[in-house]
Amino acid sequence: MGYLIDNLQYANWSEKIFRQMREGSVDAVHVTITYHESFREMVLQLEAWNRRFEQFPDLIMRATTMGDVDMARATGRTAILFGFQNPSPIEDDIGLIEIVHQLGVRFMQLSYNNQSLLASGCYEANDTGLTRFGVQAVAEMNRVGLVVDMSHSGDRSTLQAIDASSRPIAITHANPSWWHPARRNFGDDVIKSLVAQGGMMGFSVYPHHLQSGSDCTIENFCQMVADAASRYGAENLGIGSDLCQDQPDSIVEWMRVGRWSKAMDYGEGTADAAGFPAMPSWFGDNRDFGNIRAGFAAVGMSDSEVDGIMGDNWYRFYGENFGPANS
């Protein structure tokens, strides 16, 4: 069986979750370490992760390369990779892109819902595309091997990032808007451009991104992925579940509001559903990836397609894109 990789989670990390990762035979997880944090606040998150690696060395290990995923698998552990959902930790300093890569960060979103110094978010009324800083940041990210992630950006910004980048980029956690027209999902033209450049699309199980929300059936989700494989080819598709397991609802306020607003921004939810939505019955934690694998087979996907989407495609992408350009 191929690799099992989830390329986006933001859980309330605990021994319980790490043990569930092992029970589910999850080889690697890309974890969000920042939303709106400054550089120094981001360093505090790295310190917290170092303590977790020290406390649970038999369950998890720090990973920055494809080879680290191999090491984790060989030793019965889950590889943990770091990413930002906002470029706030690099502040206004392009030199910090190389520094955060040296600190082990491997993915960085150019914006999170709002306009950033680099690009427009998907909730802005006007998507003005990449900024001048954004164009230069993409080039620097390409140079050092920090993957451009556009999961919370607008379509125009995303298309410009694809064009500006000399290396494949990623949408780590979203779904096609032709299946469910959430503002966080992406149009056919964007996904076609993404995969044509060798970029990766990670499918999200977060209910606001799903048709019928928390009531989305596994058959519906898996048929969507099968349809996407027919449209775009399966080799650039993966999973980015956006699992926010065991998080208190107060965390949603930090994710959506940060320090930029006095009022609650409900994002894709509504005023009477400001907290985390209930996950679909078939995916509650890391032990449930087998449900998705079986669901893919049930809708007629081949073994090689299933292995690719469940993790082999992300594994290949890591090997090609985490190091310096032309390395």
pLDDT digits (tens, 9 = 90+) for 96-141: 999 999 999 999 999 999 999 999 999 999 999 999 999 999 999 9
- pLDDT for position 220: 98
What count of Cα atoms within 13 Å lies in the side-chain half-sphere of residue 87? 34
Phi-psi region at 228: left, alpha or beta (left = phi > 0; alpha = psi -120 to 50): alpha
Chain length of the chain: 327
Question: What are the domain boundaries of the chain?
Answer: 5-321
List residues bridging with 174 in a β-sheet.
Answer: 203
- pLDDT for position 258: 87
- pLDDT for position 286: 98
- pLDDT for position 272: 42
Considering the four listed CATH numbers 3.20.20.140, 3.90.730.10, 3.40.50.300, 1.20.1740.10, the one that applies to the domain covering 5-321 is: 3.20.20.140
**CA 89, chain centre distance (Å):** 17
Mean pLDDT, each 10-residue run in order, the chain (327 residues): 96 98 98 97 98 98 98 98 98 98 98 97 96 98 98 98 98 98 97 98 97 97 98 98 92 81 68 75 98 98 98 98 88
pTM: 0.96
- pLDDT for position 271: 41
